[in-house]
């Protein structure tokens, strides 16, 4: 029974580990995207005011 | 709501439900195997893991071919995402197989044909991911990765056929005479295979969303 438990623990551990990796990657990418869009808005706004 | 996002969320919900039903079937419906006992229940997730591994690498193979012919970025995204997921499932298959081997054969690992070719397969696709990370130029990276993926796929049929071509201790469940399972065992296995396939497509949809997000960031950085 210990081997069965071990096998299922590893199987779901890998699955949830991968899901956690994807989730944290998504958060990181979303943060980067928001920051880039914000920087872009800031850099574009003086030009718009000037025109 | 975005139609793609809605489909992806629906796929995730169906996956979660199917996994719950699969666990119920494996532990409460499938009969206890007479010789191996309860450890045989690993089989219901070990085989689907291997199946999804093969499926993911096949999807990557087809997407890589399409990329080489059409040079469209989306095929490279699919090939890359699918290899990553495939490697996760191949890893699961190897580890659960190793635990099962320890319980039934008394050893964690033996260099018999199926296990050896599985280790080679794992190394080939782990190298694919390393190769991608090592290359800076996106178009060159996509081209080289596509060629590598097409060539690397040769290892998949060899791995599948290993227990049919060579003498091995690995069990052969399906052969020319059909399956060596009781009808209930076979039904549970089929349900688990379908479940894992749905989970694969849910993961692929999620992984592709991340890839598109990453591309969007790269495009913004360039301009």
Q: Do A29 and B221 touch (CB under 8 A)?
A: no
Selected residues 182-211 of chain B with any CB under 8 Å from a CB in chain A? 203, 206-207, 209-210
- Our CA-based measurement puts residue A50 at a distance from the nearest CA of chain B, in whole angstroms, of 21
- Can you name the residues that pair with B91 across neighbouring β-strands? none
Task: Say yes or no for a CB contact (<8 Å) between B217 and A40.
Answer: no
pLDDT of residue A46: 64
Cross-chain Cβ contact A3/B99 below 8 Å: yes
At B140, the pLDDT band (50, 70, 90 cuts) reads very high
- Band of residue B7 on the pLDDT scale cut at 50, 70, 90: confident
Q: What is the pLDDT of residue B1?
A: 58
Q: What is the pLDDT of residues B178-188, one digit of tens each?
A: 777 889 999 99
Distance from CA of B65 to the nearest CA of A (A): 26
Residue ranges in chain A whose pLDDT is less than 70: 46-51
| B118 Cβ neighbours under 8 A, 6+ residues apart | B90, B93, B94, B97, B159
**Alpha helices in chain B, H assignment, sequence order:** 3-24, 43-70, 73-104, 113-134, 138-152, 155-165, 183-222
- Residue B13 clears pLDDT 60, i.e. is over it: yes
pLDDT at res. A51: 44
Of residues B100, B207, B220, nearest to A22 (C-beta): B207
Tell me the pLDDT tens digit for each residue of B19-78. Answer: 999 999 999 998 888 888 888 899 999 999 999 999 999 999 999 999 999 999 999 999
Burial B105-123 (b: 16+ CB within 10 A, else e): eeeeeeebbbbbbbeebbe
Residue B77 is predicted with a pLDDT of 95
**pLDDT tens-place string over residues B98-111:** 998 998 888 999 89
pLDDT of residue B64: 97
pLDDT band at residue B145, thresholds of 50, 70 and 90?
very high
In the predicted model, is pLDDT for residue B196 greater than 70?
yes
Alpha-carbon distance of B87 to B81, in angstroms, equals 10
- The DSSP secondary-structure symbol of B29 reads I
**Whole-model pTM?**
0.89
| Reported ipTM exceeds the 0.90 cut | no
Encoding tokens for residue B52?
């999804």
Alpha-carbon distance of B125 to B145, in angstroms, equals: 10
């Amino acid at each position: 029974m210990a081997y069965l438990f071990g096998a299922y623990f590893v199987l779901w551990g890998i699955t949830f580990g991968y899901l956690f990796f994807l989730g944290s990657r998504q958060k990181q990418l979303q943060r980067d995207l928001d920051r880039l869009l914000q920087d872009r808005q800031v850099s574009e706004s003086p030009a718009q005011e000037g025109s | 709501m975005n139609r793609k996002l809605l489909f992806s969320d629906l796929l995730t919900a169906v996956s979660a439900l199917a996994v719950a039903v699969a666990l119920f079937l494996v532990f409460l419906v499938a009969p206890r195997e007479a010789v191996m006992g309860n450890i045989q229940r690993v089989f219901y997730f070990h085989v689907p893991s291997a199946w999804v591994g093969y499926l993911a690498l096949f999807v990557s193979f087809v997407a890589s071919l399409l990329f080489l012919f059409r040079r469209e970025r989306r095929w490279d995204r699919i090939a890359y995402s699918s290899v990553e997921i495939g490697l996760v499932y191949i890893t699961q298959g190897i580890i659960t197989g190793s635990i099962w081997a320890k319980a039934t054969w008394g050893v964690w690992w033996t260099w018999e044909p199926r296990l050896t070719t599985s280790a080679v397969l794992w190394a080939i696709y782990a190298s694919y991911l390393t190769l991608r990370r090592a290359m800076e130029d996106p178009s060159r990276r996509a081209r080289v990765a596509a060629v590598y993926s097409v060539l690397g796929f040769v290892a998949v049929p060899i791995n599948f056929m290993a227990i049919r071509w060579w003498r091995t201790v690995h069990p052969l469940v399906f052969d020319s005479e059909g399956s060596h399972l009781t009808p209930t065992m076979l039904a549970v296995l089929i349900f688990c295979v379908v479940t894992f396939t749905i989970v694969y497509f849910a993961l692929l949809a999620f992984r592709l969303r991340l890839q598109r997000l990453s591309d969007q960031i790269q495009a913004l950085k360039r301009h």
